[in-house]
Amino acid sequence: MFLQHLLNGITIGGSYALIALGYTLVYGVLKLINFAHGEIYMIGAYLGFILISLLPAMPPFLQGSLPLFLLVVFGIAAMICSLYGFYLEKICYRPLRGAPKLTPLISALGASIFLQNFVMISMGAKDRIFPQTIGMRAISLGGVSFTPLQLTIIFSSIALMALLYWFINRTRLGTAIRATSTDPFMAALVGINVDTVISVTFMAGSFLAACAGVMIGLYYGSINFTLGYLGGIKAFTAAVLGGIGNVPGAMVGGFLLGIIEALGAGYFSSEYKDVYAFFILIAVLVFRPAGLLGKRSDERA
Amino acid sequence: MNARNLRHDLFFYLGILLICVPFLKIHTLYVLPVFLGAWGLRRFADFAGENRLMVTLRERTVNSVLAHRRVTVGLILAVALLIPLGASDYLIEVFTSVILYAILATALNITVGLTGVLVLGFIGFYAVGAYTTGILTAKFALCGFWIALPLSGLAAMLCGILLGIPALRLRGDYLAVVTLGFGEIIRIFLTNLNGLTGGPNGILGIKRPSFGLFTLDHPRDFYWFALAVLSLVILIVARLVDSRYGRAWIAIRENEMAAGALGINVFRKHLLSFSLSAFFGGIAGSLFAVKQGFISPDSFTFYESVLILCMVVLGGIGNVAGSVTGALLLIAAPEFLREFSLYRMLVFGAVMIAFMVFRPSGLLGSRVIAQEIKDRADDGP
Amino acid sequence: MKKLLVVGLVGLAMVACTKKEGQEGAVIKIGAAGQLTGPEAVFGSDMLNGVKLAVEEWNAKGGVLGKKIELVPGDDQAEPRQAVAVANKFVTEGVVGVVGHFNSSCSIPASEVYHKAGIPQISQACTNPKLTDQGFDNVFRVCGLDDQQGKAAADFAVQKLKVKRVAIIHDKTTYGQGFAEEFKKNLGTGVEVVAFEGIAKGEKDYSPVVTKIKSANPDLVFFGGIFTEGGLLIRQYKAVGGTAPFIGGDGIMSEELLKIGGPATEGTYATFGPDTKEIPSAKGFNENYRKKYGEPGVYSVYAYDAANIILQSIQKAGAADGKKITPEIRAIDYNGALGHIQFDAKGDVKESPYVVWKVENNKFKQVK
Q: Do C207 and A11 touch (CB under 8 A)?
A: yes
Give Dmax (Cα) for chain B.
74
Using CA coordinates, name the residue in chain A closest to C231: A222
* Residue partners of A44: CB distance under 8 A and separation at least 6: A77, A78, A81, A206, A209, A210, A211, A212, A213, A214
In this structure, chain B runs to a length of 381
Q: Do C75 and B298 touch (CB under 8 A)?
A: no
User: What CATH class has B88-379?
Assistant: mainly alpha
CA distance B350 to B368: 25
Q: Which of A31, A40, A91 to mutate to test the interface with B (most CBs of B within 10 A)?
A: A91
What pLDDT band is residue C14 in, cutting at 50, 70 and 90? Answer: very low
A126 touches chain C (CB under 8 A): yes
Amino acid (1-letter code) at residue A31: K
Q: Do B349 and A110 touch (CB under 8 A)?
A: yes
Q: Indicate whether A295 belongs to any domain.
A: no
Q: How far is A293 from chain C (nearest CA, A)?
A: 27
DSSP string over C200-257: -TT----HHHHHHHHHH--SEEEEES-HHHHHHHHHHHHHTT--PPEEE-GGG-SHHH
A84 touches chain B (CB under 8 A): yes
CA distance B291 to B284: 10
Which chains share 3+ C-beta pairs under 8 angstroms with C?
A: A, B
B380 touches chain C (CB under 8 A): no
Set of chain B residues whose Cβ sits within 8 Å of the Cβ of A80: 18, 21-22
What pLDDT band is residue C20 in, cutting at 50, 70 and 90? Answer: very low
A270 touches chain C (CB under 8 A): yes
What pLDDT band is residue B32 in, cutting at 50, 70 and 90? Answer: low
Region B266-286: mean pLDDT is 93
| Average pLDDT for chain C | 83
Q: Do A125 and C235 touch (CB under 8 A)?
A: no
Report percent pLDDT > 90 for chain C.
14
Q: How many of the other CB atoms lie within 10 Å of CB of B265? A: 13
Q: What's the pLDDT score for residue C174?
A: 77
Query: Residue A199 belongs to what domain range?
Result: 2-124+142-287
- Number of separate domains in chain A: 1
| Positions of CATH 3.40.50.2300 in chain C | 28-144+278-341, 147-275+355-366
CATH value at residue A280: 1.10.3470
Q: What's the pLDDT score for residue B374?
A: 52
Q: What's the pLDDT score for residue B283?
A: 95
Which 8-state DSSP code applies to residue A137?
A: -
| Tens digit of each residue's pLDDT (9 = 90 or more) over B216-235 | 778 888 899 999 999 999 99
Q: What's the pLDDT score for residue C283?
A: 79
Q: Give the global pTM.
A: 0.82
Q: What's the pLDDT score for residue A252?
A: 92
Best-predicted range by mean pLDDT (A129-143, A154-168, C71-85, C138-152):
A154-168
CA distance B104 to B323: 9
Q: Between chain A and chain C, how many beta carbons pairs sit less than 8 Å apart?
A: 110
pLDDT at C2 over 60: no
Set of chain B residues whose Cβ sits within 8 Å of the Cβ of C79: 298-299
Q: Do B376 and A98 touch (CB under 8 A)?
A: yes
Q: What's the pLDDT score for residue A202?
A: 94
Strands A222-223 and B214-215: unpaired
Q: Which of C43, C170, C207 to mutate to test the interface with A (most CBs of A within 10 A)?
A: C207
Q: Looking at C23-32, C95-104, C336-345, which range is the least confident one?
A: C23-32
What's the CATH superfamily of C28-144+278-341? Answer: Response regulator (3.40.50.2300)
Set of chain B residues whose Cβ sits within 8 Å of the Cβ of A229: 302
Q: How far is A123 from chain B (nearest CA, A)?
A: 7
Q: Do A265 and C208 touch (CB under 8 A)?
A: yes
Which residues of chain A are under the pLDDT cut of 70? 132-137, 294-301
| Tens digit of each residue's pLDDT (9 = 90 or more) over B303-348 | 889 889 888 888 888 788 888 888 988 888 777 766 666 677 777 7
Task: Count CA within 13 A, CB hemisphere, residue B247.
Answer: 5
CA distance C264 to A137: 10
pLDDT at C1 over 50: no
Q: State whether residue C349 is helix, strand or coil.
A: strand
Q: What's the pLDDT score for residue B125?
A: 95
| Tens digit of each residue's pLDDT (9 = 90 or more) over B347-379 | 778 778 877 877 777 776 655 444 444 555 554
Region B48-67: mean pLDDT is 73
What pLDDT band is residue B4 in, cutting at 50, 70 and 90? Answer: very low
Of B87, B192, B293, the CB nearest to C18: B87
Q: Indicate whether A136 belongs to any domain.
A: no
The answer to whether the Cα torsion of B25, B29, B34, B36 is positive or negative is: positive
A301 touches chain B (CB under 8 A): yes
Q: How many of the other CB atoms lie within 10 Å of CB of B141? A: 11
- Helices B69-86/B52-67 angle, 10° precision: 90
Q: What's the pLDDT score for residue B16?
A: 60
**Radius of gyration, CA atoms only, chain A:** 19
Angle at B67 between CA B65 and CA B72, to 5 degrees: 45
The alpha-helical segments, DSSP class H, found in C61-202 are 80-93, 104-117, 130-133, 146-155, 174-185
Q: How far is A82 from chain B (nearest CA, A)?
A: 11
CA distance C161 to A264: 33
Integer angstrom CA distances of residue C244 from A91, C156, C184, C214, C364: 52, 15, 17, 9, 18
Report percent pLDDT > 70 for chain B.
81
Q: Do A300 and B174 touch (CB under 8 A)?
A: yes
Angle at C109 between CA C107 and CA C113, to 5 degrees: 100
Using CA coordinates, name the residue in chain C closest to B335: C85
Q: Indicate whether A296 belongs to any domain.
A: no
Integer angstrom CA distances of residue C44 from A117, C50, C75, C145, C184: 19, 10, 8, 19, 30
CA distance C95 to A153: 55
Q: How far is B204 from chain A (nearest CA, A)?
A: 23
| Average pLDDT for chain B | 80
- 8 Å CB contact between C114 and C147: no
| Tens digit of each residue's pLDDT (9 = 90 or more) over B158-202 | 999 999 988 888 777 788 888 888 998 898 889 888 888 888 778
- 8 Å CB contact between A74 and A217: no
Domain C147-275+355-366 has CATH 1.10.1200.10: no
Strands B210-211 and B214-215: antiparallel
Q: Which of A35, A268, A278, A299 to mutate to test the interface with B (most CBs of B within 10 A)?
A: A278
